[in-house]
Amino acid sequence: MIEEIIKSVGTPTYVFDVHCLKARIKEIEDYFPKQILCYAMKANPFIVREIAEDIARFEVCSFGEYKILEDLKVDPSKIVLSGVWKKQSEIEYLFENNIEVGLFTVESKNQWKLLKELAQKYERPISILLRLTSGNQFGMTKEEIISIFKEESSWIHFRGIEYFSGTQKHNIKRIEKEMIEVSEFVSFLEKEESLSLEIEIGLGFPVYYFEGDEFEEDLFFKEVAQLLEHFKEHVVTLEIGRSLVASCGSYLTSVVDYKENKVGNFAILDGGIHHLVYYGSSMAMKIPHYEIFPKREGQNKNVNLCGSLCTINDILVKNVECPSLQIGDVVMFKNVGAYSMTEGISLFLSHDLPKVVFIKNKQIEVVRESIPTYVLNEPKIEGEK
Ligand SMILES: Cc1ncc(COP(=O)(O)O)c(C=O)c1O
* Residue-range domain boundaries for the chain: 2-11+247-376, 18-246
Per-10-residue mean pLDDT, the chain, length 385: 97 98 98 98 98 98 98 98 95 97 98 97 97 97 96 92 95 95 96 94 96 94 95 94 98 97 97 95 90 90 96 95 94 97 95 98 97 96 82
Choose one of 81, 82, 242, 339 to mutate for the ligand 1 pocket test, by most ligand atoms within 8 angstroms of C-beta: 242
Q: Is the CB of 65 under 6 A from ligand 1?
A: no
Q: If you take atom 16 of ligand 1, which residue's CA is the nearest one?
A: 164
Cα–Cα distance, 144 to 154 (Å, whole number): 19
Q: Is the CB of 167 under 6 A from ligand 1?
A: yes
- CATH for 18-246, options being 3.40.50.720, 3.10.620.30, 3.40.720.10, 3.20.20.10: 3.20.20.10
pLDDT confidence of residue 299:
86
Topology, domain 2-11+247-376: Lyase, Ornithine Decarboxylase; Chain A, domain 1 (2.40.37)
pLDDT confidence of residue 228:
95
pTM: 0.96
Q: Where are the beta strands (DSSP E) in the chain?
A: 13-17, 36-40, 57-60, 79-81, 103-106, 126-131, 156-164, 198-202, 236-240, 249-261, 264-269, 290-293, 300-306, 315-323, 330-334, 355-360, 363-368
Q: Are 1 and 228 in contact (CB under 8 A)?
A: no
pLDDT confidence of residue 282:
82
Q: Is the CB of 17 under 6 A from ligand 1?
A: no
Q: Is the CB of 205 under 6 A from ligand 1?
A: yes
pLDDT confidence of residue 132:
98
